[in-house]
Amino acid sequence: EMQLLESGGGLVQPGGSLRLSCAASGFTFSNYAMSWVRQAPEKGLEWVSIISRGGDVTFYADSVKGRFTISRDNSKNTLYLQMNSLRAEDTAVYYCAKALLVGTVPSPFDYWGQGTLVTVSS
């Protein structure tokens, strides 16, 4: 059974850092691009970042560019999001999501984790 399990969320002060992880199982992780999507409380979905299956291609939303870094370790079937210089507006549930199509970054997302809550507040 396919599974994505996010961890690493929590309460952090403005200006602080957090690293989110997403442990994948039930599929060949290294074959698929992976993405982070966030959802602020009572708000819509906001795409954050995507990484190619090999980790050599990344894209970021303008709202996080220069502050967040996406990475992956295919030997550990794990996706990461390093978040620095956090702001109150980064408060959200962060979901990791798997690309539907094998081997390509241009792809919708067919499987989502349950999410991890990040709260940025003093």
Q: Cα dist. 67→23, 41, 48, 84, 110 in Å?
A: 22, 21, 11, 5, 27
Q: Determine if 105 is a binding residue for other proteins (CB under 8 A).
A: yes
Cβ 99 to other proteins, closest distance in Å? 9
Q: Determine if 52 is a binding residue for other proteins (CB under 8 A).
A: no
Q: Determine if 88 is a binding residue for other proteins (CB under 8 A).
A: no
- Which positions from 58 through 77 interact with other proteins, judged by CB under 8 A? 59-62
Cβ 116 to other proteins, closest distance in Å? 12
Q: Determine if 7 is a binding residue for other proteins (CB under 8 A).
A: no
DSSP 8-state symbol, 107: -
Q: Is 31 helix (H, G, I), strand (E, B) or coil?
A: helix
Cβ 122 to other proteins, closest distance in Å? 29
Q: Which residues of 51-65 are buried (b: 16+ CB within 10 A; e: fewer)?
A: bbbebeeeebeeebe
Cβ 88 to other proteins, closest distance in Å? 20
How far is the C-alpha of 88 from the C-alpha of 75, rounded, in Å?
34
Q: Determine if 1 is a binding residue for other proteins (CB under 8 A).
A: no
Q: Which value, to the nearest 10 degrees, does the dihedral of the CA atoms of residues 64, 69, 71, 76 take?
A: -100
Footprint on this chain of other proteins (rule: CB under 8 A): 35, 37, 44-47, 50, 59-62, 95, 100, 105-110, 112-115
